[in-house]
Structure 1
């Protein structure tokens, strides 16, 4: 099964040391900068200007240096002082060619770095915009976390970047401050997991805002894979697909916060072949856990502050249908209308926005084409007969071209026991399939 996921973990760069460059800075006298972000599939997307061109970046605490990987002929970005390198990341593939660039100007509102090191990946297959439904041009992480106290409010979708010299910790009984370990430009936190009937297992986890998943754990003598599990595609790293076992743990504990029946995955060890030494790391904690808190990252003082928010008790999301979706170009959709309206633009941020009126009776719209990019073996969708490459037209009678890709995914995986009807196009024929969403673990026995 092929799937375009987004789980960037521990980026390893096979290049000579080039220095860290100049830091990000606020204007003199400014204590912090507030930035709005988009939360898409548990991931934080922020706008950053690169040499005067505004692009969209994933804020990824698991990455060392900024990387551009989705520049098309519609983007015009000046890249300075370029040399060729090779990058090795997660996945089972070979190192990929990239460009190293120094002396770039990055701006995030009033925050500026005029000597930013940047890597550019030319491989067109590395494109996460198709699976997220919005343009994403790159990733950035450590450089911002290093230079500021970063206050992420997942509930209001805002981030405040504080000058560390002016950040004041305020007393709040609802907040809890935990130690943060910074190793190799990455942040780690200690937690406890409870697997099946086992006792409390202490774990050392990478904090990865660039992963949309909940918990990844590495199997060893103490951490075993629960009997209730299934094979799944976990995501895509820089060097290929990442597979493993999908499961859940009884609970995970961060400080005094306890999340029960937490979603978890055990990635195949071959996906981590590029990481020569995992040290005492036992896994990672991603966006589906992190979004349940408002978080203050304080790298300079090696602290992290957690305060649970309105999403704290939200159920963990599983791909119940087994369907993976992505954008695959555009298609025309015609609609009969009777109110005589003219050209109308679609929702802001969507890929298709061209609509043409014919003789006041028919509107022809250019909209994103949503295709099945992968199906999990043995899933309800596969059993019903859906196939990779099918074009999704409607879900439960709702034409999908009016919805964002994340909303369509929610329709397909709403809740256990829900009957799903999917209208698809295959080889210019419209076909209707039905299936029921099942408990992924009900047939699994210890």
Structure 2
């Protein structure tokens, strides 16, 4: 065989191999490859996006779609063992509270089935200690997280109003989708960032680099340790900011006068100011000043286009709704078990509920005379943020000791009052 023919044969083999590479490259793809786009119904709870995922033909479970994480995560080692995941090594992860260290097992080369979409050769981090706490917060079971892998090759539209994802072939997304505004984003360490303008209550303006975090249920979050320009407003309250891997997040809640993302403006925005932790250097090294979460993102329709470093935004039906914080002082949670039990995880000091006599661990029996069988946690959270002056009637079960065998029923009445 001549040298030229050898070169020609080599080129031909390379071209044939290249034609088959996309199906082998780890990522998420449409099953019907001839389609320009695929629509996928999702569940939206407290502006968090849940998709049904089957791993290696196992039973379908809820996964949170989260732009704020790099790698797919499974919260339950018990479930991972049940579906027969194979593990190759272990990793240490820093918890969201900045103090806890979590261990995870690495499971490579998994198949993830989302109905019309599929994840090929997917690596999953499986937490060695089962973490199902998100169910307590949003009222639905959440078994894991889909991160960067879901977005990295294909544009993805999130329509919060219609509870629908649209997964595009890259070449089929219009360069200027009708009704949307285009904004540059930057993908760093597999996470999307956007430049914004923040006007604080003291009228000081800040050019802020923010992480776009669909998996966080806050609106705006500002990390005070990243720059002295970020000032905690005088009008603020101390509060638990949320529950995530590794523990509860604590800090302060206040308001920011204005958040501007390109031409889209949000006024009087509820803003979280978390406490600094020993691992805050990770945030500082990223160069960001905070993050924009689902309380803001859920007011729009979004299209993420990672491959072109851009995203598109369009105002949704709730865009103009005021940002309201809990007006009762209650942090409600679900107790995971055979029965649906919603209880007061925390009762903020000097809040309307506390002054009326509600105590931590009180279990709700009725709310506004409606039995708890008819309440879902998102509906309760919405009620407690609804309207200043609204009367709330609670019937609660208060246990007398840790055995939870003896209790008394209490009736508690108060009016919602805006705290911040």
For 1:380-395, what aligned pairs fall within 5 Å after superposition? Answer: 380-395=352-367
Pairing 1:280–2:259 present: no
More helix per residue: 2
Indicate the SS of the match to 2:350.
coil
**Aligned match of 1:24:** 28
Q: Which runs of 5+ in 2 are unaligned?
A: 1-23, 400-406
**Aligned match of 2:120:** 114
Q: TM-score, normalised by structure 1?
A: 0.82
Q: Aligned to 2:235, which of 224, 228, 237?
A: 228
Q: TM-score, normalised by structure 2?
A: 0.87
For 1:358-369, what aligned pairs fall within 5 Å after superposition? Answer: 367-369=339-341
**Aligned match of 2:389:** 417
Q: Structure 1, residues 194-230: CA drift from partner, whole Å, max 9, x if none?
A: 1113243211100000001100012232121111101
Say if 1:423 and 1:433, in contact at 8 Å, map to a contact too: yes
Distance 1:164 1:80 in 2: 33
CA distance change for structure 1 residues 91 and 25 in 2, over 3 Å: closer, same or farther? same
Distance 1:194 1:251 in 2: 5
CA distance change for structure 1 residues 271 and 285 in 2, over 3 Å: closer, same or farther? farther
**Aligned match of 1:298:** 305
**Aligned match of 1:334:** none
**Aligned match of 2:54:** 49
Pairing 1:177–2:182 present: yes
> How far apart are 1:329 and its partner, in Å?
4.3
Pairing 1:98–2:125 present: no
**Aligned match of 1:163:** 169
Distance 2:111 2:169 in 1: 19
Pairing 1:35–2:14 present: no
Pairing 1:439–2:407 present: no
Mean Cα displacement is larger for which, 240-249 or 56-65? 240-249
Indicate the SS of the match to 1:270.
coil
> How far apart are 1:312 and its partner, in Å?
0.5
> How far apart are 1:395 and its partner, in Å?
1.3
Pairing 1:89–2:95 present: yes
CA distance change for structure 1 residues 408 and 94 in 2, over 3 Å: closer, same or farther? closer
**Aligned match of 1:192:** 197
Indicate the SS of the match to 2:149.
helix
Q: Aligned to 1:376, which of 336, 341, 348?
A: 348
Distance 1:148 1:259 in 2: 29
Distance 1:113 1:411 in 2: 38
> How far apart are 1:163 and its partner, in Å?
1.6
Indicate the SS of the match to 1:300.
helix
Q: Which runs of 5+ in 1 are unaligned?
A: 1-19, 331-351, 353-366, 442-446
CA distance change for structure 1 residues 51 and 314 in 2, over 3 Å: closer, same or farther? same
CA distance change for structure 1 residues 126 and 329 in 2, over 3 Å: closer, same or farther? closer
Say if 1:89 and 1:274, in contact at 8 Å, map to a contact too: no
> How far apart are 1:78 and its partner, in Å?
2.4
Say if 1:421 and 1:433, in contact at 8 Å, map to a contact too: yes
Indicate the SS of the match to 1:147.
coil
Distance 2:353 2:171 in 1: 54
Q: Aligned to 1:256, which of 263, 267, 272?
A: 263
> How far apart are 1:130 and its partner, in Å?
2.3
Distance 1:405 1:79 in 2: 32
> How far apart are 1:406 and its partner, in Å?
1.1
Say if 1:215 and 1:285, in contact at 8 Å, map to a contact too: yes
CA distance change for structure 1 residues 72 and 403 in 2, over 3 Å: closer, same or farther? farther
Distance 1:218 1:329 in 2: 32
> How far apart are 1:191 and its partner, in Å?
0.9
Say if 1:246 and 1:265, in contact at 8 Å, map to a contact too: yes
Indicate the SS of the match to 1:189.
strand
Say if 1:64 and 1:141, in contact at 8 Å, map to a contact too: yes
> How far apart are 1:410 and its partner, in Å?
2.3
Q: Structure 1, residues 225-284: CA drift from partner, whole Å, max 9, x if none?
A: 111101111012322221111001111111111111111111111174362643320100
> How far apart are 1:374 and its partner, in Å?
1.6
CA distance change for structure 1 residues 119 and 74 in 2, over 3 Å: closer, same or farther? closer
Distance 1:323 1:257 in 2: 32
